[in-house]
């Protein structure tokens, strides 16, 4: 990832504010699970064999499950707001930024059927990505509850004399981290920052590119990126920054990778001056 310049940061200033707000709320919501896990473990540590142990276990697990349900509701609500309100805002802001950079009237942007149709798959895909992560976290939280309840029942029945192994249970079921497909664990804030930045900048850049295409009839876009970033992927030897790309290529690669700081400048002034197939002067 390349450190953005001040100019590049300004290009997505409104978007970064949206991301920061949602990031704070997501991290706070995830803490519900961490607190609930700690509370359940502390309660089950006090379980001893004898009458009344089973109802105490059941009550503690029920309270924990209520917090898991609360996490699920609040996290889903944040994902829904992001998809229904924040991503459209990012798309619109990208469109307006494109008009500014082309020195055109901002009123040229309207929520036409073309823009709405372009935004719909973006919001749908990214919403599903967030919901999938929330569902995975709920499943892990439920698996922890089953494991903790099972361990406490062993203690209550007198088959485990040293009490539950809280450190082991917490280590086996980490609820304050996100587990990637390769089984690596990442802090929630690191995952959320990366995911939201990717989604938001894709939406903003798509808004800019589509506005250049539909409102400005631009055939070409100028790429603004980190000095070492490749066009298709970060390690691509075809460096992106400052290059002129066709509108179709820009639409195919609004970003190159997670953490990418790419943005696009419409260049309708180059229409007819560059051959659309070769990229060479006409």
H or E segment to which residue 143 belongs: helix 113-156
Residue 89: name the closest of 200, 217, 216, 214 by CA.
200
The predicted pLDDT at position 258 comes to 85
Strands 220-224 and 244-246: antiparallel
The predicted pLDDT at position 4 comes to 47
The predicted pLDDT at position 64 comes to 98
**pLDDT tens sequence across 164-223:** 999 999 999 999 999 988 889 999 999 999 999 999 999 999 999 999 999 999 999 999
**pLDDT tens sequence across 27-74:** 999 999 999 999 999 999 999 998 889 999 999 999 999 999 999 999
| Mean pLDDT score, 240-261 | 91
DSSP 81: H
CA distances (Å), origin 25, targets 7, 83, 128, 263, 272: 27, 15, 19, 27, 48
- Over 60: is that where the pLDDT of 3 sits? no
The predicted pLDDT at position 243 comes to 93
Q: For the chain, give the number of residues.
A: 282
**pLDDT tens sequence across 145-161:** 999 999 999 999 888 88
Top pLDDT among 276 and 122 is at 122
DSSP 255: -
Task: Summarize the chain as % helix, strand, coil (round to 5).
Answer: 65, 10, 30
The predicted pLDDT at position 39 comes to 98
Top pLDDT among 221 and 162 is at 221
The predicted pLDDT at position 278 comes to 56
Q: How far apart are CA 49 and CA 156, in angstroms?
A: 4
**pLDDT tens sequence across 81-110:** 999 999 999 999 999 999 999 999 999 999
Q: What is the largest CA-CA distance in the chain?
A: 89
The predicted pLDDT at position 260 comes to 84
Residue spans per domain, the chain: 6-216
The predicted pLDDT at position 11 comes to 61
Token pair for 234: 């970060």
- Over 80: is that where the pLDDT of 279 sits? no
Q: Which residues contact 158 (CB under 8 A, 6 or more apart)?
A: 49
CA distances (Å), origin 209, targets 4, 33, 250, 278: 20, 40, 7, 20
Q: Which residues contact 7 (CB under 8 A, 6 or more apart)?
A: none
H or E segment to which residue 62 belongs: helix 53-81
């Amino acid at each position: 990832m390349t450190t953005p310049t001040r100019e590049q940061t300004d290009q997505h200033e409104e978007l970064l504010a949206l991301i920061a707000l949602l990031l704070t709320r997501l991290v706070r919501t995830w803490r519900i699970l961490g607190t609930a896990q700690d509370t359940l473990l502390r309660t089950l540590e006090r379980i001893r064999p004898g009458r009344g142990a089973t109802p105490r276990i059941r009550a503690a697990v029920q309270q924990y499950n209520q917090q898991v349900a609360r996490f699920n509701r609040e996290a889903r609500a944040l994902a829904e707001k992001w998809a229904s309100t924040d991503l459209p805002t990012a798309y619109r802001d990208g469109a307006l930024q494109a008009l500014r950079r082309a020195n055109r009237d901002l009123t040229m942007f309207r929520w036409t059927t073309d823009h709405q149709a372009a935004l719909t798959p973006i919001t749908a895909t990214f919403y599903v990505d967030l919901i999938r992560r929330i569902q995975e976290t709920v499943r892990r939280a439920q698996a922890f509850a089953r494991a903790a309840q099972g361990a406490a029942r062993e203690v209550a029945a007198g088959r485990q004399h040293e009490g539950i192994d809280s450190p082991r249970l917490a280590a086996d079921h980490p609820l304050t981290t996100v587990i990637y497909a390769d089984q690596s664990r990442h802090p929630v804030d690191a995952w959320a920052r990366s995911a939201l930045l990717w989604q938001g900048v894709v939406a903003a850049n798509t808004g800019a590119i589509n506005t250049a295409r539909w409102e400005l009839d631009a055939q070409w876009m100028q790429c603004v990126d980190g000095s070492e970033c490749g066009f298709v992927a970060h390690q691509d030897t075809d460096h992106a920054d400052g290059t002129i790309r066709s509108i179709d290529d820009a639409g195919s690669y609004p970003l190159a990778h997670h953490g990418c700081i790419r943005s696009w400048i419409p260049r309708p002034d180059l229409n007819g001056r560059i051959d659309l197939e070769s990229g060479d002067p006409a």
